[in-house]
Amino acid sequence: MTVELNTVYVDRIAPIACPSLDDTFRMIGEQGASACIVLHRPDAEELGDVAVALGLHELAVEDAAEGHQRPKLERYGSTLFTVLKPAVYQDGPEQVEFGEVHAFVGQDFFLAVVPADPRGPQAVPRALQRLSGKPALVTAGPQAQLWALMDSIVDGYAPVIDGLEEDINQIEDQLFSGVAGVSRRIYELFGEVVDFQRAARPLIGIIENLRRGAEKYHLPVELQRRFRDVLDHVIRTVERLDTFRQLLQNALTVDSTLAAQKQNDDTKRISGWAAILFAPTLIAAIYGMNFTHMPELSWTWGYPLSIVAMIAFAAILFVVFKVKRWF
């Protein structure tokens, strides 16, 4: 386990870096003191010790230890448990990499457990630094740190949206240019958009639930405004993802239509050449039957006329199919 951040706010204003978690746990509960702790990849035993010290519910601790949770918000008594999904877009393989952050928000502590974060091990501490120079938010306590984390994660969605949009624009250009492999690219990118929707859409319900409980849990007005701003960004993100999903569905339909049209054109072309070859083959087959009594066999011009007939029929059919744009 790595303790990425271990800070105590005295009177919820002055931050003090604590040398150990034990000192932090002793200071929690003192008048006006609250703690902000970020743990990176703790094992089950280490997380259990922290959970006992902070009085965390065993079900929430079990979810945090197992990982691979969906984004959600749950309340256990006076403690909130939130699962959030940071994201980074890898443009080369065209994949969205998702991390996972489990946040526990109590009356006098904020604990973030980070089993994985594609943005780097210091991403969550940097996100919480958004409170620097904002005393009006710091005094709101641990819920302000939850806002800082959510705001950072949602802001991180913007580059992912831009990367997806750029690749979708490229796909639209490739659809009518005959580039090989565009079908696979569309399908794989469609899967990335769907996964991103699963990570981003639940945030709308999470933030709306936080806002509904604002008065009951004494959420300051300024912090309510901050959460509303995050909600606006999430809604815009989800709306753009809905648009991307529709565009990719349309692209799959267009690609299927173009493939069917190409197959139809190929069928026409093959049928046309088969018809062109049929006439000469029919004439040659008739005169290749080797019957003894065939009037044309004694003609002096029989052979040249049969050759001319073959060429003439083939040429006429070729012109007809060319006019019909089968070739």
Render 168-218 in DSSP notation, one character per residue: HHHHHHHHTTT-TTHHHHHHHHHHHHHHHHHHHTHHHHHHHHHHHTTTTTT
Structure tokens at 220: 């300051």
pLDDT of residue 32: 67
- CA-CA distance, 69 to 79, in Å (whole number)? 18
> Of 123, 155, 182, which closes a domain?
123
Q: Buried (b) or exposed (e) across 236-250, using 16+ Cβ within 10 A? A: ebbebbeebeebbee
Residue 85 lies in a domain: yes
Residue 180 lies in a domain: no
Residue 231 lies in a domain: no
> Of 123, 151, 173, which closes a domain?
123
Residue 210 lies in a domain: no
pLDDT of residue 297: 67
Would you call 263 helix, strand, or coil by DSSP?
Answer: helix
pLDDT of residue 31: 64
User: Which domain CATH number covers 77?
Assistant: 3.30.460.20
**Closest CA relative to residue 61, chosen from 106, 102, 108, 22:** 102
Residue 13 lies in a domain: yes
**Closest CA relative to residue 60, chosen from 75, 40, 41:** 75
**Closest CA relative to residue 53, chosen from 11, 108, 118:** 108
Render 234-245 in DSSP notation, one character per residue: HHHHHHHHHHHH
Residue 19 lies in a domain: yes
pTM, rounded to two decimals: 0.79
Q: Which domain holds residue 55?
A: 1-123
Residue 177 lies in a domain: no
pLDDT of residue 12: 64
Residue 268 lies in a domain: yes
- CA-CA distance, 160 to 268, in Å (whole number)? 44
The pair phi, psi for residue 84, each rounded to 5°, is -125, 155
Tally of domains in the chain:
2
- pLDDT tens string 6-60: 777 776 666 787 778 888 888 886 766 788 889 988 888 889 989 998 999 999 9
> Of 104, 123, 142, which closes a domain?
123
CB atoms within 10 A of CB 228: 12
List per-block mean pLDDT (blocks of 10 residues) for the chain, which spans 327 residues: 75 74 80 82 88 92 90 92 94 89 92 85 84 78 91 94 92 78 86 94 93 78 90 96 93 79 74 78 74 68 77 82 73
Burial class (CB in 10 A: 0-12, 13-18, 19+), 226: buried
pLDDT of residue 206: 94
pLDDT of residue 68: 87
